[in-house]
Amino acid sequence: MMSRIKKALEKAEEARREIVELTRRGGGVRKEVRPEYVQTRVVPVDPEVLRRNKVFGFFEEDALTEQLKILHTRVLDRMEKLGGNALLVTSALPGEGKTLTAINLGLSMAREFDRTVLLVDANLKNPSVHTYLGLPAEKGLAHVLLREAEIPEVLINPNLPRFVVMPAGRTLTGSAEVLGSPYAEGIFEEIKTRYPERLIIFDAPSLQTADPLVLADYVDGVLLVVEAERTTEDQFRSALEMLQEKPLVGVVMNKFRF
């Protein structure tokens, strides 16, 4: 299974590389980014774990991949218009699928040859990014914010090109206060400005907590996820009102049945 996926990825990369050389953005030739992970720990993911956990952004042949590409193209377009590189993904209620949306969106965007993606699990109340990807999470964002680790120590590359994960590490009591501290502001600024070609996606808790409202001050755009046939109109309107002063990139209706 791994060898077939690897060959498919290599073939897709070769085809896209030719396109990149001929494509222009903003008047300049797009340059391919091929990072070498020296400090970042490389932990190969198990494709079967990804399939089981519905992480379909990894699989080029999945039927949902095209829908995901449409979403990622629209989000990138909005982010470029905003002139930013940091996106927050949150939801109206818990359990609406925002974490899977953030993961799959990040994997899809990492297929772009001229950018890298950093997925940050900023859900310090109930972290789960590492579980979906089958990655260890001994240290993460929580340890960085508590000055128990440096940023490079907690980054993981799941052996996928241009895609890096920062797990949450562990849960934190009083997470909103920690996230709103001057030290946290400096950490998020460093994450945003370290690599100019990097897009950062923050997976945040739902708007039933204060955390995403604090995190929204550090990002350039917010993507709201709602669940079809579950989120009520009043809950949706309430979520929009809470984000009315934030740069809303769009709304994803998840689990919609055609």
CATH of the domain at 27: 3.40.50.300
Separation between Cα atoms, residue 142 and residue 17, nearest integer Å: 37
What's the distance, CA 252 to chain centroid?
14
Assign 6 to helix, strand or coil. helix
Least confident of 150-154, 222-226, 228-232: 228-232
| Predicted model pTM | 0.85
- Within 92-232, where are the H helices? 98-109, 129-133, 141-145, 151-154, 175-179, 182-193, 211-215
Which H or E run includes 118?
strand 116-121
**Average pLDDT in the chain:** 85
Query: From CA 176, how far away is CA 218, in angstroms rounded?
Result: 13
Whether pLDDT at 28 is above 60: no
Max avg pLDDT among 35-39, 195-199, 207-211, 225-229 = 207-211
- Whether the CB-CB separation of 201 and 118 falls below 8 Å is answered with yes
Task: Tell the burial category of 84 from Cβ atoms under 10 Å away from its Cβ (0-12, 13-18, 19+).
Answer: middle
Instruction: Find all residues with CB under 8 Å of 16, minimum gap 6, and list them.
Output: 111, 113
**pLDDT tens digits, one per residue of 161-220:** 899 999 999 999 999 999 999 999 999 999 999 888 899 999 999 999 999 999 999 999
- Model pLDDT for residues 104-129, shown as the tens digit of each residue: 999 999 988 788 999 999 999 999 99
Strand order in the sheet with 163-166: 41-42, 156-157, 163-166, 116-121, 198-203, 86-91, 221-227, 248-254
- Structurally, the chain folds into a number of domains equal to 1
DSSP 3-state assignment of 254? Answer: strand
CA–chain centroid gap for 115, Å, is 13
Confidence at residue 17, expressed as pLDDT on a 0 to 100 scale: 45
Range of the domain at 56: 2-254
| pLDDT score for 246 | 87
